[in-house]
């Protein structure tokens, strides 16, 4: 077993174009799992290129104080499809693992599965251009090195490209500033300092209580409050861990059959048809249980009926008023949009933090940030002098990391241009004009609306099966047909519009990025239904794709 990552070739060697069967971009959960399937299950020559100094993906970059997973750790790890031994050997210490624990897990998996020897760290993929004549992707890396591969697979993560709002004046700020998704490896001390946190999304909700514990003062610049669900975090005892391990088979079966990839028990009750007292009790129980199951396990109509949703909003408003002592602050912290139409953060003492004398909430909806000054932040109202600014301002989600690579398909058409009006995908896995390219948890797949690891395993296994099919049947290329793609885009939009989600501004609809096309990016039809669709497509000989050999082509069974 080797624990050493692959190294980049010597200069002379680099002049030779290295060729692989498949190149994968990114070494987070998806890149590691894809490599395992390509190399160990399919016997292909595969190479992973990772920009970070270590494996881990999102768990490598997001090292900010308080970073921990919002999915329960025992459900947020690889299944026995990777290795029963790994599943049985690893012990999670808390209900929600911290970033260092998950990073350790991923490094350990990479070492144990001997994946590192096919992963090059500190390598940025700059471009990927498809050569139609030879059905290969030519991939350009930093240092102008080129490699070639028949298959180009993006495992870049949905939340990678940083959103840095363009406030004027940042260059003249005399203090320190950080973005949560690119946090210094050595950590940052805020002891005795005045700190501004911009943003109140899932990241900020984790950062703020931690920073408030040591800073002299924290100013929280909030544009939109969120419905924060208590995490109810706790340690996992060895006995509990052993019990979970015994039941992992059933747990995974349940997760795969669940619309969000969790072993939750979806409710089929209507909030409106439930008497108020009973309804309150159900909400209260879900609040006490904590976790992202709140929506699924309470009522079935919260995302389709505004009236039903209002009952959840009232519940959150009451909870916030009960916890936060200052009624004005409580009101500012209370969301005015339907619950669940933005990703609800999990909180660990977030609301209580606003009772601390060293925390001030600044409402930048009514008094917007106008500029960063030498000494701090000026809103339309006044200047806040601070020593440090933390940007917890999120990501150009779903498409940002794909567009960061100059991806060009047939005829040199760029992905960015092809998707100028929004993603054009078939199943969120492939796009017409980009043969032999697959996206793991790409836009228009369930991805961020689910337990990511379950969605990742489904995508990786589907892609691996597809590549195996192509090889066994002598095909050199696969490409989504324009008709299948149009149908998927239309179906995706139709399902999205059955819910309240597209009505609320959020990163799910791209509303956080000025100029980004506003539409729902993840697929809302459920991971269970989506899996069935993908399986049906495969069983029908990759329906909706055209498969070709270099000397000729045929359309797939049902075109």
Q: What is the enclosing helix (H) or strand (E) of 121? A: none
Q: Provide the minimum distance between the beta carbon of 167 and ligand N01 in the complex, in angstroms, as a whole number.
A: 7
Q: Provide the minimum distance between the beta carbon of 319 and ligand N01 in the complex, in angstroms, as a whole number.
A: 19
Q: How many residues does the chain have?
A: 559
Pick from 25, 69, 390, 519 the residue near ligand N01 by CB under 6 A: 69
Residues in region 258-277 near ligand N01 by CB under 6 A: none
| Strands 229-230 vs 145-154: parallel, antiparallel or unpaired | unpaired
One-character DSSP codes across 24-35? EE--SHHHHHHH
What DSSP character marks residue 395?
A: B
Q: Provide the minimum distance between the beta carbon of 67 and ligand N01 in the complex, in angstroms, as a whole number.
A: 7
Give the CB-nearest residue to ligand N01. Answer: 201
Residues in region 83-142 near ligand N01 by CB under 6 A: none
Q: Provide the minimum distance between the beta carbon of 28 and ligand N01 in the complex, in angstroms, as a whole number.
A: 12
CB 163 within 8 A of CB 146: no
Main-chain dihedrals φ then ψ at residue 553, nearest 5 degrees: -145, 165
- Using CB under 6 A as the binding rule, whether residue 223 contacts ligand N01 is answered as yes
- Using CB under 6 A as the binding rule, whether residue 398 contacts ligand N01 is answered as no
Pick from 19, 122, 146, 224 the residue near ligand N01 by CB under 6 A: 224
Candidate ranges 44-52, 87-95, 102-110, 393-401; the one touching ligand N01 (CB under 6 A): 393-401
Residues in region 19-48 near ligand N01 by CB under 6 A: none
Cβ closest to ligand N01, residue 377 vs residue 477: 377
Distance CA 233, CA 72 (A): 9
| CA–CA distances in Å: residue 333 to residues 33, 304, 321, 511 | 40, 24, 9, 20
Q: Provide the minimum distance between the beta carbon of 115 and ligand N01 in the complex, in angstroms, as a whole number.
A: 22
| CA–CA distances in Å: residue 377 to residues 171, 172, 240 | 12, 11, 48
Pick from 311, 353, 512, 546 the residue near ligand N01 by CB under 6 A: 512
- Using CB under 6 A as the binding rule, whether residue 75 contacts ligand N01 is answered as no
Q: Provide the minimum distance between the beta carbon of 406 and ligand N01 in the complex, in angstroms, as a whole number.
A: 25
One-character DSSP codes across 455-485? HHHHHHHHHHHHHHHHHHTT--EEEE-HHHH
Cβ closest to ligand N01, residue 224 vs residue 232: 224
Q: Provide the minimum distance between the beta carbon of 275 and ligand N01 in the complex, in angstroms, as a whole number.
A: 33
Pick from 46, 52, 60, 70 the residue near ligand N01 by CB under 6 A: 70
Q: Provide the minimum distance between the beta carbon of 207 and ligand N01 in the complex, in angstroms, as a whole number.
A: 9
Q: Provide the minimum distance between the beta carbon of 69 and ligand N01 in the complex, in angstroms, as a whole number.
A: 4
Cβ closest to ligand N01, residue 370 vs residue 528: 370
What DSSP character marks residue 541?
A: T
Residue 38's contacts (CB-CB under 8 Å, 6 or more residues apart) are 21, 22, 24, 44, 46, 464, 467
Size of the site for ligand N01 (CB under 6 A): 23
Cβ closest to ligand N01, residue 505 vs residue 528: 505
Candidate ranges 388-396, 408-416, 521-529, 542-550; the one touching ligand N01 (CB under 6 A): 388-396
Residue 132's contacts (CB-CB under 8 Å, 6 or more residues apart) are 410, 411, 435
- Using CB under 6 A as the binding rule, whether residue 343 contacts ligand N01 is answered as yes
Tell me, residue by residue from 399 to 438, as one string, x for binding to ligand N01 by CB under 6 A and - for no binding. Answer: ----------------------------------------
Q: Which stretches within 257-360 are classed as H helix?
A: 276-289, 294-298, 306-323, 327-332, 350-353
Pick from 364, 390, 489, 537 the residue near ligand N01 by CB under 6 A: 364
Distance CA 458, CA 423 (A): 21
- Using CB under 6 A as the binding rule, whether residue 466 contacts ligand N01 is answered as no
- Using CB under 6 A as the binding rule, whether residue 448 contacts ligand N01 is answered as yes
Distance CA 180, CA 195 (A): 14
Main-chain dihedrals φ then ψ at residue 226, nearest 5 degrees: -125, 160
With tokens 């590549």, the residue in question is 467
DSSP-derived 3-state class of residue 520: coil
- Using CB under 6 A as the binding rule, whether residue 203 contacts ligand N01 is answered as yes
Distance CA 122, CA 228 (A): 36
- Using CB under 6 A as the binding rule, whether residue 347 contacts ligand N01 is answered as no
Cβ closest to ligand N01, residue 66 vs residue 525: 66
- Using CB under 6 A as the binding rule, whether residue 74 contacts ligand N01 is answered as no
Q: Provide the minimum distance between the beta carbon of 190 and ligand N01 in the complex, in angstroms, as a whole number.
A: 18
CB 58 within 8 A of CB 182: no
Residues in region 163-202 near ligand N01 by CB under 6 A: 165, 198-202
Distance CA 111, CA 166 (A): 40
Cβ closest to ligand N01, residue 51 vs residue 179: 179
Residue 549's contacts (CB-CB under 8 Å, 6 or more residues apart) are 474, 475, 476
Distance CA 405, CA 128 (A): 7
Pick from 106, 135, 255, 392 the residue near ligand N01 by CB under 6 A: 392
- Using CB under 6 A as the binding rule, whether residue 210 contacts ligand N01 is answered as no
- Using CB under 6 A as the binding rule, whether residue 447 contacts ligand N01 is answered as no
- Using CB under 6 A as the binding rule, whether residue 504 contacts ligand N01 is answered as no
Sites of contact with ligand N01 (CB under 6 A): 69-70, 159, 165, 198-204, 223-224, 343, 364, 369, 392-395, 448, 507, 512
């Amino acid at each position: 077993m080797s624990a050493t990552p692959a190294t980049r070739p010597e200069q002379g060697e680099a002049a030779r174009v290295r060729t692989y069967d498949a190149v994968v971009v990114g070494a987070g959960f998806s890149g590691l799992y894809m490599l395992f399937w390509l190399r160990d299950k399919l016997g292909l020559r595969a190479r992973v290129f990772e920009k970070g100094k270590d494996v881990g993906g999102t768990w490598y970059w997001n090292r900010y104080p308080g970073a921990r997973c919002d999915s329960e750790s025992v459900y947020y790890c690889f299944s026995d499809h990777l290795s029963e031994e790994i599943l049985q050997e690893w012990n999670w210490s808390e209900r929600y693992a911290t970033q260092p624990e998950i990073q350790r897990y991923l490094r350990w998996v990479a070492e144990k599965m001997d994946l590192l020897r096919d992963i090059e760290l500190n390598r940025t993929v700059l471009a990927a251009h498809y050569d139609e004549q030879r059905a290969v992707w030519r991939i350009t890396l930093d240092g102008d090195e080129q490699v070639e591969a028949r298959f180009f697979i993006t495992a870049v993560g949905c939340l990678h490209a940083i959103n840095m709002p363009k406030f004027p004046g940042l260059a003249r700020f005399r203090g320190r500033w950080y973005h949560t998704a690119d946090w210094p490896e050595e950590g940052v001390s805020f002891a005795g300092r005045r700190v501004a946190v911009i943003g109140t999304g899932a990241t900020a909700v984790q950062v703020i209580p931690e920073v408030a514990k040591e800073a002299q003062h924290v100013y929280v610049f909030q544009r939109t409050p969120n419905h924060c669900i208590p995490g109810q975090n706790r340690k996992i005892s060895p006995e509990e861990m052993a019990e979970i391990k015994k039941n992992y088979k059933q747990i995974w079966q349940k997760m795969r059959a669940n619309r969000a990839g969790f072993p939750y028990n979806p409710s089929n009750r209507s909030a409106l048809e439930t008497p108020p007292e009973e309804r309150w009790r159900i909400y209260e129980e879900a609040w006490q249980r904590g976790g992202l199951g709140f929506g699924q396990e309470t009522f079935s109509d919260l995302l389709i009926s505004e009236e039903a949703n209002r009952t959840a909003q009232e519940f959150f408003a009451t909870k916030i008023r009960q916890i936060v002592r200052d009624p004005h602050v409580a009101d500012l912290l209370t969301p005015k949009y339907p619950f669940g139409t933005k990703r609800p953060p999990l909180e660990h003492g977030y609301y209580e933090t606003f009772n601390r004398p060293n925390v001030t909430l600044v409402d930048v909806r009514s008094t917007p940030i106008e500029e960063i000054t030498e000494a701090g932040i000026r809103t339309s109202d006044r200047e806040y002098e601070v020593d440090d600014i933390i940007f917890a301002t999120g990501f150009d989600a779903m498409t940002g990391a794909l567009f960061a690579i100059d991806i060009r398909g047939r005829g040199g058409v760029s992905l960015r241009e092809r998707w100028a009006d929004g993603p054009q995908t078939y199943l969120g896995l492939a796009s017409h004009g980009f043969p032999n390219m697959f996206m793991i948890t790409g836009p228009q797949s369930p991805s961020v609306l689910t337990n990511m690891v379950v969605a990742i395993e489904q995508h990786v296994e589907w892609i691996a099966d597809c590549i195996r099919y192509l090889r066994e049947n002598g095909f050199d290329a696969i490409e989504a047909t324009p008709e299948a793609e149009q149908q998927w885009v239309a179906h995706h939009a139709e399902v999205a519009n059955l819910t309240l989600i597209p009505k609320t501004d959020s990163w799910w609809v791209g509303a956080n990025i000025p100029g980004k096309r506003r539409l729902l990016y993840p697929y809302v039809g459920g991971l269970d239904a989506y899996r069935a669709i993908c399986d049906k497509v495969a069983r029908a000989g990759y329906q909706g794709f055209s498969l070709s050999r270099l000397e000729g082509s045929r359309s797939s069974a049902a075109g």
